[in-house]
């Protein structure tokens, strides 16, 4: 069963919301842009994580607009790591999935994120792919994605990996510590 946006908010599964009534949707909760980064090194991925090394990243700055209250970033075609403002607390009987908002893919921009395991608590991020040959302009705190929660048939042991309780999605041994 998929939880409603109201159910997600009521159970406080998504935290640090910018504006509850604007982010709560019928089938999920909108996620907003906190930070954009680019990769500056290769990563190493193995089977048992003994050799795992996250790619190094570098945060990209937002530009101040005329009145210094709105901040934007212009992204050219390519791949970017994005951090969301919101954090999550996934119950042991649920999983989360992140989907791009339609306004994003209609603009030639995609969001890719993995399954958010039962028991995970902490920061969230995603891969953003700008396919539009003219790029995209994003405002800080723009609504980019929606998280949807699905109940599992039973409670599970839950996630207990290196990203648990993280404050950023850069990853193990990236520039920012988790």
Convert the pLDDT of each residue in 161-174 to its tens digit. 888 888 876 654 44
In a domain, residue 162? The reply is no
At residue 178, the pLDDT reads 37
In a domain, residue 66? The reply is no
Q: 68 pLDDT band (50/70/90 cuts)?
A: low
Say how far apart CA 175 and CA 55 lie, in whole Å.
Answer: 9
Say how far apart CA 130 and CA 113 lie, in whole Å.
Answer: 15
For the chain, how many structural domains are there in total?
1
In a domain, residue 77? The reply is yes
For residue 148, give both structure tokens.
Answer: 């949807």
Say how far apart CA 88 and CA 3 lie, in whole Å.
Answer: 14
Q: Nearest Cα to 53, choosing from 61, 40, 42?
A: 42
Cβ–Cβ < 8 Å for 157, 93: no
Write the CATH number for 94: 2.70.40.10
pLDDT at residue 9 above 80?
yes
In a domain, residue 173? The reply is no
Range of the domain at 140: 2-39+71-151
In a domain, residue 112? The reply is yes
Say how far apart CA 69 and CA 84 lie, in whole Å.
Answer: 19
pLDDT, tens digit, for every residue of 22-41? 999 999 999 999 999 999 99
In a domain, residue 156? The reply is no
Say how far apart CA 26 and CA 77 lie, in whole Å.
Answer: 32
Q: What is this structure's pTM? A: 0.90
Say how far apart CA 111 and CA 34 lie, in whole Å.
Answer: 15
């Amino acid at each position: 069963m998929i939880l409603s946006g109201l159910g997600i908010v009521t159970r406080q599964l998504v935290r640090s919301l910018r504006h509850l009534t604007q982010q709560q949707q019928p089938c999920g909760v909108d996620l907003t842009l906190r930070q954009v980064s680019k990769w500056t090194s290769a990563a190493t991925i193995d089977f048992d994580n003994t050799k795992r090394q996250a790619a190094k990243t570098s945060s990209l700055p937002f530009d101040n607009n005329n009145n210094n209250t709105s901040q934007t970033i212009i992204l050219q075609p390519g791949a970017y790591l994005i951090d969301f403002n919101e954090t999550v607390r996934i119950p042991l009987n649920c999983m989360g999935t992140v989907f791009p908002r339609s306004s994003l893919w209609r603009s030639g921009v995609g969001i890719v994120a993995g399954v958010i395991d039962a028991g995970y608590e902490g920061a969230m991020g995603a891969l953003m792919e700008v396919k539009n040959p003219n790029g995209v302009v994003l405002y800080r705190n723009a609504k980019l994605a929606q998280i949807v929660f699905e109940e599992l048939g039973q409670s599970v042991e839950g996630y207990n990996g290196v990203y648990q309780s993280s404050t950023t999605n850069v990853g193990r041994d990236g520039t920012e510590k988790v």
